Amino acid sequence: MAASPSLIDTPRQSWHARVCEKGLRTTEMSERSWWFIRTRWNATALCFLGALWAMLPPVRDPPLFMVDYRFFLIVGGLLAASNHLYTRMARNLTADPHAKTRLCRFLSLQVLTDYANLSLLTYGLGGIETPILILFLPHIILLTLFFSRAYSFIMTWVGILFASLPILLEYLGILPVVSIFDATRKMIDVTSSLVITSSYVLGIIAAFLICWYLVGGITAILLLRERQLELALQQLQRLDREKSQITLRATHELKAPFAAIKSYVYTLRDGYCGPLPDKARQVVDRIGERCDLLMEKISDIIHLSNLRTATPANTALSETDLLPILAKEIDDARLIGEPRGVRILASLDMAPCLIQASKEHLSTMFSNLLRNAISYSHLEGAVEVTLERRDRQVAIQIRDHGIGIPTEHLEKIFEEHFRSNNAVRFNPNSSGMGLALVREIVRLHGGQIRVKSELGAGSRFIVTLPA
74-129 pLDDT, tens digit each: 888 998 998 888 888 887 775 555 566 777 788 888 889 989 988 988 888 877 77
Q: Are 146 and 287 in the same domain? A: no
Q: Which residues of 99-124 are buried (b: 16+ CB within 10 A; e: fewer)?
A: bbbbbbebbbebbebbbebbbbbbbb
Q: Are 50 and 142 in the same domain? A: yes
Question: Residue 467: what pLDDT?
Answer: 80
Residue 197 lies in a domain: no
Please give the Cα distance from 199 to 190 (Å, whole number). 9
CA Rg value for the chain: 35
Residue 428 lies in a domain: yes
Cβ atoms of 398 and 333 closer than 8 Å: no
With cut-offs at 50, 70 and 90, classify the pLDDT of residue 10: very low
Q: Are 176 and 287 in the same domain? A: no
Least confident range from 31-35, 278-282, 284-288, 447-451: namely 31-35
**Residue 301 pLDDT > 80, yes or no?**
no
Question: Residue 3: what pLDDT?
Answer: 40
Q: Which of 283, 312, 341 is the last residue of a domain?
A: 312
Better-scored residue on pLDDT, 199 or 182: 199
Residue 213 lies in a domain: no
Which of 56-60, 201-205, 315-319 is most confident? 201-205
Please give the Cα distance from 293 to 123 (Å, whole number). 81
Q: Are 136 and 82 in the same domain? A: yes
Residue 237 lies in a domain: no
Q: Are 167 and 100 in the same domain? A: yes
**Residue 184 pLDDT > 50, yes or no?**
no
Closest CA to 124 of 77, 174, 186, 70: 70
Q: Are 17 and 126 in the same domain? A: yes
Q: What is the pLDDT of residues 138-171, one digit of tens each?
A: 888 888 877 888 888 999 999 999 998 888 888 8
**Residue 12 pLDDT > 50, yes or no?**
no
Q: Are 38 and 102 in the same domain? A: yes
Question: Residue 451: what pLDDT?
Answer: 93
With cut-offs at 50, 70 and 90, classify the pLDDT of residue 383: very high
Question: Residue 358: what pLDDT?
Answer: 87
Burial class of residue 271 (count of CB atoms within 10 Å of its CB; 0-12, 13-18, 19+) = exposed
Burial class of residue 283 (count of CB atoms within 10 Å of its CB; 0-12, 13-18, 19+) = middle
Ramachandran bin of 126, using left for φ above 0, alpha for ψ from -120 to 50, beta for the remaining angles: left
**Domains contained in the chain, number:** 3
Q: Are 306 and 364 in the same domain? A: no
**Residue 26 pLDDT > 70, yes or no?**
no
Question: Residue 449: what pLDDT?
Answer: 93
The 10 Å Cβ neighbour count of residue 397 is 18
All residues at 6 or more sequence positions from 358 whose CB lies less than 8 Å from its CB, including other chains: 315, 316, 317, 318, 320, 444, 445
Residue 333 lies in a domain: yes
Largest CA distance in the chain: 121
Q: What is the pLDDT of residues 218-276, one digit of tens each?
A: 888 887 888 888 889 888 878 877 776 776 676 667 777 777 887 888 888 888 888 88
Q: Are 261 and 399 in the same domain? A: no
Q: Are 354 and 306 in the same domain? A: no
CA atoms in the 13 A half-sphere facing the CB of 347: 10
From first CA to last CA, the distance across the chain in angstroms is: 37
Please give the Cα distance from 265 to 259 (Å, whole number). 10
With cut-offs at 50, 70 and 90, classify the pLDDT of residue 13: very low
Please give the Cα distance from 130 to 122 (Å, whole number). 7
The rounded mean pLDDT for the chain is: 81
Q: Can you give the residue range of the structural domain that contains 341?
A: 314-466
Better-scored residue on pLDDT, 103 or 333: 333
Q: Are 87 and 147 in the same domain? A: yes
**Residue 63 pLDDT > 50, yes or no?**
yes
Q: Which of 176, 192, 208 is the last residue of a domain?
A: 192
Question: Residue 71: what pLDDT?
Answer: 84
**Residue 462 pLDDT > 90, yes or no?**
yes
The 10 Å Cβ neighbour count of residue 138 is 12
Which of 181-190, 408-417, 420-429, 448-457 is most confident? 448-457
The residue-averaged pLDDT of 422-444 equals 84
Residue 406 lies in a domain: yes
The residue-averaged pLDDT of 171-179 equals 81
Closest CA to 310 of 415, 414, 444: 444
Cβ atoms of 384 and 459 closer than 8 Å: no
With cut-offs at 50, 70 and 90, classify the pLDDT of residue 6: very low
Q: Are 250 and 158 in the same domain? A: no
- Name the percent of the chain lying above pLDDT 90: 18
**Residue 185 pLDDT > 60, yes or no?**
no
- Cross-strand partners of 394: 389, 465
Q: Which of 288, 312, 336 is the last residue of a domain?
A: 312
- Name the percent of the chain lying above pLDDT 70: 84
All residues at 6 or more sequence positions from 183 whose CB lies less than 8 Å from its CB, including other chains: none
